Amino acid sequence: MTKVSAPSEVVIAATRRWVERAVIGLNLCPFAKGVQAKGQVHYAVSQADDAQALLVDLKQALAELHDTPAALRDTTLLIAPLALTDFWDFNDFLDRADRLLRKMHLDGVFQIASFHPQFQFADAAPDDISHYTNRAPYPILHLLREESIDRAVAAFPDAALIYEHNMETLRALGQAGWQALDVGPAPKEPAAGPGGDTAL
């Protein structure tokens, strides 16, 4: 059965909406607003529909980020609407992603964070609101520069406070409040308007 995704520009628009309304709007990541405002977040859509093809696109995205100055592209969100829609398959894939990072000799240069529509912390109940800190409209690999992480940690050294703030925010918001943000995946029909960054 052929998998069908929304057009790349629609996928990117849905992901931007999630970043702006949830990640920045709820201040889940206090470091996101600056790079988003400066246009330093690169949104790339992978057309991969399996793990191996996604690994190929991840390699390309890492190489492009490495070759692009941070002032132009500080970070990349590699969005995979067709691949690894099951969270546990996606979770297993992250080991392969980290191995690729080491194989490319980029460990210590980049980190790979992850988001998924079904994200679930191992130590929380399936319906716990805390999962939404890492839930996104699509499976996403977030490619981060270690230097940027170091600067962020220096500016906000107590990361535990961020986690506590996020839990308080989400519990106050509740499931109904999250749904009201309208940050789910886009419908699979084309939408009018300008396109996004790239399709791989």
In tens digits, the chain (200 residues) has pLDDT values of 456 667 899 999 999 999 999 999 999 998 899 999 999 999 999 999 999 999 999 999 999 999 999 999 999 999 999 999 999 999 999 999 999 999 999 999 999 999 999 999 988 888 899 999 999 999 999 999 999 999 888 887 777 788 889 999 999 999 999 999 999 876 544 433 333 466 67
Residues 6 or more apart whose Cβ sits within 8 Å of residue 147: 70
pTM of the predicted model, to two decimals? 0.90
CA distances from 193 to 9, 12, 38, 64, 90 (A): 9, 12, 21, 26, 31
Domain that holds residue 79: 8-199
- Answer yes or no: are the C-beta atoms of 26 and 173 closer than 8 Å: yes
Give the Å distances, CA to CA, from 91 to 94, 131, 188.
5, 14, 25
DSSP state of 107: B
Q: Residue 163 falls within a domain, yes or no?
A: yes
Q: Is residue 1 part of a domain?
A: no
Identify which of 164, 160, 158, 5 has the alpha carbon closest to the alpha carbon of residue 79. Answer: 5
Give the count of domains, the chain: 1
**Does 3 fall in a domain?**
no
Q: In angstroms, rounded to a whole number, what is the distance separating the alpha carbons of residues 174 and 198?
A: 34
Alpha helices in the chain (DSSP H): 8-18, 32-37, 51-67, 87-103, 146-155, 159-180
Smallest CA-to-CA distance from 83 within 9, 10, 141 is with: 141
